[in-house]
A and B are shown apart, each in its own frame.
Chain A
Amino acid sequence: MKRNYADLHLCPNSKNFEQVSLMIKKASGLGYRLIAATSQLNYIGEIERLKESCRETGVDFASRLDLKPRTPNELKHNLRKLRRKFEIVAVICESKNVARQAAKDRRVDLLNFPSLDFRRRFFDAAEAELASKALASLEIDMKPLLTLEGPLRIRLLSNLRREVDIAQEFCIPIVISSGISNEYLMRKPVDLAALTSLFDLDMVSAVDAVSKNPIAIVKRNREKLSPQFVAPGIRVVRKGKDC
């Protein structure tokens, strides 16, 4: 069966709609069937516009929110306010407290650790244990791997190798995203999967990380956001007096 591929982290400049449409067309040409883009504050109009553009090129679009809270309380507040408006919620973890809260909160889909500093990447065994009891996946952006060089890339690879090891030990799904804002950095899904060999992710897991895992997140959330959803495992099948 042919796999469907997804890139859940495109960061186009929403003010430049020409570039956005170019990126969507390119994503379709490279073989992606599902994409998600980081939304800005004027999200409702923007998302509709992006969805329309994706529909024309035959790509499915999922709305994504990146939260960058400073405190766990801010994270909880934002999740309460915005969770039901987006299909994917990612948390950019820049402090340990936020990372821990994000890992244990079932409303968070993706944990993203952007820092290049080893001490500010909080995906350790404790974080993974919390995430394994919730629903969060580890998101790895490939943009830094493509843009960095020399010692910085070496350090990043060593961090990613450690994090991937921990994630696999605790059965945390890994999602490989591009995280790019420039169409020249877009790569085919298989090429993204090949790049993961640099941090020792095996090819089967790597291909799952660009296909099965991201698609599962979107599918799960769409089900949750549908009006038929009541609770996990319970949904409205029929309404009427005879029920």
Chain B
Amino acid sequence: MALDYDGALDSKEFMATVWNAFLKLYGEYGASRTGLTLIDYDAEKRFAIIRTVHTAVEMARTALASISKIGNKPAAVHVLVVSGTLKALYKKIQG
């Protein structure tokens, strides 16, 4: 995912924003079914990899697209690549 945001943001704040988006749209029950985990986060390149169960990919896409603010600043999260394995994901990113 690419992060579009002016300012510094650590991985904890980023994941809190993602969880918050899930909670707002799908509630605690829905969020509990996503298996959301942060795999990689690069604050400088504004790039992150998160894992979710395959049945929740569309939910994740929707929740990430719904992020329009982090704190009081405007922000956007764009999904770049979706893949079944990390190996294939890194291959896709590099290719």
Contact = CB atoms under 8 A, between A and B. Distances in A.
Given A149-B24, A184-B4, A184-B68, A198 B76 contact: no
B52 to A, nearest CB: 13
Given A195-B66, A198-B25, A190 B76 contact: no
Contact of B78 (A30, A147, A149): A30
B66 A197 contact: no
A188 B24 CA distance: 21
B79 A188 contact: yes
A146 B16 CA distance: 18
Given A146-B66, A194-B61, A198-B62, A187 B74 contact: no
Contacts, number: 45
A147 B24 CA distance: 13
Given A188-B79, A191-B79, A198-B25, A182 B74 contact: yes
A146 B58 CA distance: 17
Nearest to A192: B65
Interface residues of B, number: 16
A185 B62 contact: no
A203 B76 contact: no
A207 interface: no
Given A184-B4, A197-B58, A191 B68 contact: no
A191 B68 CA distance: 13
A144 B74 CA distance: 15
Contact of A191 (B4, B25, B64, B74): B64
B75 interface: yes
A172 to B, nearest CB: 24
A184 B62 contact: no
A188 B4 contact: no
Contacts of A186: 76
B76 A185 contact: yes
A149 B66 CA distance: 10
A149 B61 CA distance: 18
B9 to A, nearest CB: 14
Interface in B48-91: 58-59, 61-62, 64-66, 68, 74-76, 78-79
8 contacts: A145-B66, A185-B76, A187-B65, A188-B78, A191-B65, A191-B78, A195-B66, A198-B62
